[in-house]
Amino acid sequence: MVTVTFTANIQRHVECPPTEVTGRTVRECLEAVFGHAPRARSYVLDDQGALRKHMIVFVDGHQIRDRATLGDGVSVGGRIDVMQALSGG
Amino acid sequence: MTARILVGSRKGLFTVTRGSDGWGVSDVAMLGDNVSLAMSDVRTEGRDVYAALDHGHFGVKVQRSSDGGATFEEVGVPIYPPKPEDAEPEPTENNARPVPWSLKKIWALAPGGPAQPGTLWCGTIPGGLFRSDDRGDTWQLVQSLWYHELRPGWFGGGADWPGIHSVCVHPDDADRVTLGVSCGGVWQTRDGGTSWELRADGMRAEYMPPELAGDPNTQDPHCVVQSPSAPDVFWAQHHNGIFKTTDDCASWNEVAEAGPSTFGFPVVVHPRDPDTAWFIPAVKDEARYPKDGKVVVTRTRDGGKSFDVLTNGLPQQHAYDLVFRHAFDIDASGDVLAFGSTTGSLWVSEDQGDHWTHISAHLPPIHSVRFG
């Protein structure tokens, strides 16, 4: 399983509790989360499915490189943190 | 008299109402959130209220109220289609950067006609026009405009990308819709959006090389309004001055002088007199503040031949309030006007601008002011 956590700031708009999912990439894991919390999708991804400009995702503490297709790999037992980038103010 | 004003601000949606002791803030919704635009639907006598939000990190959202603003629910947002590899020739002559096919900002919200109770129009950055027929639950891109051969010639003015900020629905024929585009001129459909015509002849763009100054597709009308009582008359506060048409946008004529400046963003027109319109000038494009630090409203009652400079109740020294294109409105009576500024001040006049009352100096930066 992979644990996905979300920034606390998103919680005032849409409920996103820490969730355990299965998946081999960031995309697969996030899609699994959005399957349970569909409203969260548009808060994290833009209308083209890419990570929003001022969002940032870490896998086990490392910032992902593929913001467009979210193809970065995730290991079993890993952790994905969906955070706000400070660039967004 | 309309007794409610919706004030969309950088940090929430404020409701301003008129009580026995005058106008004042009576409610706030979405406190802390960036409300870029708010609209009350006249077809429901104000029960339906829409607010466009830009959450920054979390993107653009739309909230709808069905109870006059007491409660809101999140509804759908316009979604751009995937961008094909060969979508358009880029870069174009005027646009050195590819335009993203992705919603950046909701820049216009307008109700459809009286016989279209669920219809809304939505203008966006980067230039897509969307239509909803279910009160905002779902939105459809108006493909006839997005895929128009001239649309790739649009470019951003002030914003990074082009956008539709003005949507004027003909009061007698809801299939006739006119748009203001920055930068892309004025566009009009007479068939409900099936086909579109560029109608900005006569406008003038100083920011273009001389040979392109008259190109209608490069014009930057900051705000376009249609006279409800004489729908062939439109006023435009343009980047390079004030323009007016009396022939349904076939030709535009420039107003040479209007008080301290013809530069600004908003314009409003009297609901029953097409010759009466109001503007709020700033110095000019590279100096976006009131001339000499004096906030004034300019008013013409003769179709632009002459202007009154209205100052009663407005600050006349060291005032640097700028008023954005959606932050000025007139009520249905034609007597009450209100505007809000980038520095959080809100003024109301109940006598067509002769006297102004300062409602607040401490609101967040104001993006939109709408009666209803």
CATH code that applies to domain B99-371: 2.130.10.10
Query: Which pLDDT score is estimated for B227?
Result: 98
User: What pLDDT is stored for residue B1 in this prediction?
Assistant: 42
Cβ atoms of residues B27 and B67 within 8 Å: no
Residues of A in contact with B55 (CB under 8 A): 13, 43
Quick one: which H or E segment has residue A28? Answer: helix A26-36
pLDDT digits (tens, 9 = 90+) for A37-65: 999 999 999 999 999 998 999 999 999 99
- Name which of A13, A46, A47 is nearest B55 (Cβ-Cβ): A13
Asked if B48 and B63 touch (Cβ cutoff 8 Å), the reply is no
Fold (CATH) for A2-88: Ubiquitin-like (UB roll) (3.10.20)
CB contact under 8 A, A52 and B103: no
Q: Out of A39, A47, A88, name the one closest to residue B57 (CB).
A: A88
Per-10-residue mean pLDDT, chain B, length 372: 86 96 96 96 95 95 97 97 73 64 96 96 98 98 97 89 97 98 97 98 93 94 98 97 98 96 97 98 89 97 98 97 97 97 97 98 98 95
Give residue A89's pLDDT: 54
B143 touches B118 (CB < 8 A): no
This complex has an ipTM of 0.83
The H or E element containing residue A44 is helix A41-44
- B342: which DSSP letter? T
Q: Tell me whether residues A48 and B83 touch, CB distance under 8 A.
A: yes
Sheet of strand B22-29: strand arrangement: B22-29, B12-19, B4-9, B366-371
**Rounded mean pLDDT of chain A?**
93
Cβ of A42 within 8 Å of Cβ of B77? The answer is yes
Per the CB < 8 A criterion, the answer to whether B254 and B241 are in contact is yes
Least Cα separation, residue A2 to chain B (angstroms): 23
What pairs with residue B75 in β-bridges? B62
Please classify residue A23 by burial: count the beta carbons closer than 10 Å to its beta carbon, then call 0-12 exposed, 13-18 middle and 19+ buried: buried
Q: Identify from B53, B57, B80 which residue to disrupt to test chain A contact, counting A C-beta atoms within 10 A and taking the largest count.
A: B57
The confidence score (pLDDT) of residue A60 equals 95
Q: What is the pLDDT of residue B285?
A: 83
Q: What are the Cα distances from residue B139, in Å, to B65, B79, B80? A: 17, 7, 10
CB contact under 8 A, A48 and B58: no
pLDDT at A87: 66
> Hey, where are the domains in chain B?
99-371
Spell out the domain ranges in chain A: 2-88
State the DSSP H helix or E strand holding residue A31, giving kind and residue range, or none if neither.
helix A26-36
- A39 chain-B contacts, CB cut-off 8 A: 74
